[in-house]
């Protein structure tokens, strides 16, 4: 199936595909998701196979609203506060599994469940049409950068996968993940919702060094070091350029460009140094530069505040990936 425009007829086709236990890629406000009926283990297995994902890496379940989420997960006071404040939106909560259990395969055998209510109108419509929770990791091959445009999904999975075309994802960065299985919540993944915003609502356990995990410990299984990796070497905090390197810029490039005679291939995450714009462009620009096979992708320094934390996290993973 090709990339499908979001007509009512195509929405029905995609919903039927999902109900039948097949995969479809759907737009969310963060990144494209490779979706399957979360209640159907055979369908979920197809996600792992298609992604080439290690089976211990559990999936996020998407539901239309908090009431539905509470069928599958147990929400304590902190989880409720966060859900009420930020859903629908780019926040995933890890909560103890609830009365109606999602299959082990989705949770990779963990007693907890990662769940979120996405804000994208097409994703919301699909959830209504399918009438079942949807398991959906980012729609990229395991270890590859997340897909923020339909063409990225097609590039990773080929033309057989149905991709619902919602255009570019409005945020372009994965959801923030907060673990609410303990009395004080813990940040598991910095993401499109800034840590500062989360901290305005609940106390957060020290953001222990999630930027440089050294083990594959299942406490935060998503934080494998090799993740979000392009083929090309990525060099961070670049203040000068070597010959053959492409430049992934942030803000004003005048100074760094004086360090090379050549006019390097340059993409600018945000010429005006706006972190939200940089988040939106990050994966698309990494893919674009990667496709040109420079000797390395040199990335200018990104400030650590606000969304810069999540951007820096993804870049460090991209740099560590090779
Ligand atoms: O924005 C997003 O969250 C996107 C869109 C499609 O919703 N999804 C996404 O999924 O980024 P994925 O599979 O690429 O990342 C989910 C992360 C993984 O790192 C996984 O290990 C972690 O969530 N995770 C899932 N269940 C978990 C659990 N029970 N405990 C801890 N981490 C969990
Ligand atoms: Mg992913």
Q: What pLDDT was estimated at residue 210?
A: 44
Task: Domain 234-321: state its class.
Answer: alpha beta
Q: What pLDDT was estimated at residue 256?
A: 95
Beta strands in the chain (DSSP E): 3-4, 24-26, 33-37, 60-62, 91-96, 112-116, 134-135, 162-164, 176-179, 186-189, 234-235, 245-249, 266-268, 296-299
| Coil vs helix vs strand at 291 | helix
Q: Would the pLDDT of 3 be above 70?
A: yes
Chain position carrying tokens 């999630």:
210
Q: Percentages helix, strand, coil for the chain, rounded to the nearest 5?
A: 30, 15, 50
- The pLDDT of 182-210, averaged and rounded, is 86
Per-residue pLDDT band for 306 (boundaries 50, 70, 90) equals: confident
Q: From the CA of 2, how far away is ligand 2's center (Å)?
A: 22
Pocket lining: 97 vs ligand 1, CB cutoff 6 Å: no
The mean pLDDT of the chain is 90
Pocket lining: 137 vs ligand 1, CB cutoff 6 Å: yes
Q: Would the pLDDT of 322 be above 70?
A: no
pLDDT tens figures, 145-156: 899 999 999 999
One fold for both 3-211 and 234-321? no
Q: From the CA of 114, how far away is ligand 1's center (Å)?
A: 7
pTM for the full predicted model = 0.83
Q: What pLDDT was estimated at residue 121?
A: 98
Q: What pLDDT was estimated at residue 101?
A: 83
**174 token code pair:** 């994965």
Q: From the CA of 59, how far away is ligand 1's center (Å)?
A: 5
Q: What pLDDT was estimated at residue 213?
A: 42
| Coil vs helix vs strand at 37 | strand
Q: In sequence order, what are the beta bridge partners of 97?
A: 73
Pocket lining: 68 vs ligand 1, CB cutoff 6 Å: no
Pocket lining: 51 vs ligand 1, CB cutoff 6 Å: no
Superfamily of domain 3-211: DHBP synthase (3.90.870.10)
List the chain domain ranges.
3-211, 234-321
Pocket lining: 169 vs ligand 1, CB cutoff 6 Å: no
- The pLDDT of 96-122, averaged and rounded, is 90
Q: From the CA of 316, how far away is ligand 2's center (Å)?
A: 15
Q: Would the pLDDT of 262 be above 90?
A: no
Pocket lining: 256 vs ligand 1, CB cutoff 6 Å: no
């Amino acid at each position: 199936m090709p990339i499908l425009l979001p007509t009512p007829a195509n929405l029905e086709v995609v919903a039927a595909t999902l109900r039948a236990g097949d995969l479809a890629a759907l737009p969310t406000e963060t990144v494209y998701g490779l979706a399957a009926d979360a209640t159907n283990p055979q369908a979920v297995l197809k996600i792992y196979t298609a992604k080439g994902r290690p089976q211990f890496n559990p999936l996020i379940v998407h539901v239309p609203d908090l009431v539905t989420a509470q069928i599958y997960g147990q929400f304590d006071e902190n989880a409720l506060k966060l859900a009420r404040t930020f859903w629908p939106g780019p926040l995933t909560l890890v909560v103890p599994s609830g009365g109606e259990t999602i299959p082990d395969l989705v949770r990779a055998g963990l007693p907890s469940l990662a769940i979120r209510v996405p804000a994208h109108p097409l994703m919301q419509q699909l959830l209504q049409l399918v009438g079942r929770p949807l398991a959906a990791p980012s729609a990229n091959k395991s270890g590859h950068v997340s897909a923020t445009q339909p063409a990225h999904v097609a590039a990773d999975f080929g033309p057989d996968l149905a991709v619902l075309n919602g255009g570019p994802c409005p945020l372009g960065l994965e959801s923030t993940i907060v673990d609410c299985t303990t009395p004080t919540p813990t940040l598991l993944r910095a993401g499109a919702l800034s840590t500062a915003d989360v901290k305005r609502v609940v106390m957060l356990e020290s953001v222990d060094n999630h930027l440089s995990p050294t083990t594959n410990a299942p406490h935060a299984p998503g934080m494998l070091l090799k993740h979000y990796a392009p083929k090309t070497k990525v060099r961070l905090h670049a203040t000068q350029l070597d010959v053959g390197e492409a430049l992934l810029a942030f803000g004003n490039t005048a100074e760094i460009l004086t360090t090379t005679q050549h006019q390097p291939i340059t993409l600018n995450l945000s010429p005006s140094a706006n972190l939200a714009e940089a988040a939106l462009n990050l994966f698309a620009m990494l893919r674009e530069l990667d496709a040109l096979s420079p000797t390395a992708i040199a990335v200018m320094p990104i400030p650590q505040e606000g969304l810069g934390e999540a951007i820096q996290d993804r870049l460090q993973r991209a740099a560590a990936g090779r």
